Amino acid sequence: MLEGRYNIEDTEQDILSHSERLDWIHILSLDPILATDVYERIHNDPRMKNYRLLRPRKTEIRDTAEEIEAMARDTALSRLLIIDVRKEALPKLRTAYNKIVGYNRRDLNKLCFIILIGDGPWNLFWAGKTMDVFVPYLSEHRVDFHPAVFFYDPFLHYEKGEIVRGAIDDKFVLPDKIPGRFVPYFKKDQSIRVDKIRRYFRATDKPDDIRKKRLRRLRSLYKKRIAERFPHHKDQLKAWLSKKGIRLASEKMHLYPLFFEDWVYELTRKAKRR
């Protein structure tokens, strides 16, 4: 068994197909910053104006985990589930995700689709600078969640020393500062917050030309980081930065939030055509 393996188990919920689905999208994350980013991106896409977006409202980790579990049955009414699968959060959501996958299993990739957003494997930067380290990681999530699309979010991946644990029950605290490796690209501000970066690149309150300019800047940042970390994969760089995504063995992967709204739109349309 691979280290960090997260098993989704068959449960009593894995019994029915739910054909009467609504124009709903569930956003499932313990992280209110990521959930807000996903919500705002979809909410401000005119193609998605008729969709109802559902996300947790609680802010404390334990309360949010309980709220997500309480939402499990209602996910059987959604056409799209967007699920945060970062490593630190998965143990907190084991029961909830078991139920969610169980309720939707028979309809996945037919009447309902899953988009996963994750932080990559724990040894991402210790594996000899090869992208092959993603393959077992993606394979695990495909077995557990049957996603239509997987997005790797570089702003979710922290080194082990950057994850702070609270004093009570040794519970983890979601980092609110950007990963240290990104600090040099943002005026070397050690205290810059993830929320500020998300809002800057989302730019939903800005004119189209500014949004596009910031998206190009983010794409350029990703391109530079990937070239530095994976110098032997330059031939695959263009694909990873495109809507097509990168293929590694039998797995495909995209970069969040590049073309994220386009994938949301296409998958919801596909779900309605079935």
Q: pLDDT tens digit string along 123-162?
A: 887 766 678 889 999 999 999 999 999 999 999 998 877 7
Residue with tokens 């702003």: 155
Phi and psi at residue 246, to the nearest 5°: -100, 145
pLDDT at 189: 66
- Strands 172-173 and 164-165 turn out to be antiparallel
Q: Where are the domains of the chain?
A: 24-176+234-273
Global pTM?
A: 0.91
**What is the pLDDT at residue 271?**
95
Q: What is the pLDDT of residue 129?
A: 67
Taking the C-alpha atoms of residue 153 and residue 149, their distance in angstroms, rounded to an integer, is 13
What digits encode the pLDDT tens for the residues 81-96? 999 999 988 989 999 9
Cα 158 to Cα 88: distance, rounded to the nearest angstrom: 10
Q: Which CATH class is domain 24-176+234-273?
A: alpha beta
Residues of the chain with pLDDT under 50: 1-8, 10, 167-170
Taking CA 144 as the corner, what is the angle to CA 89 and CA 15, rounded to the nearest 5 degrees?
115
Identify whether the C-beta of residue 6 lies closer than 8 Å to the C-beta of residue 144: yes
- Determine the pLDDT at residue 128: 67
Helix residue spans in the chain (DSSP H): 32-43, 61-70, 94-104, 134-145, 194-202, 208-229, 234-240, 260-273
pLDDT at 2: 35
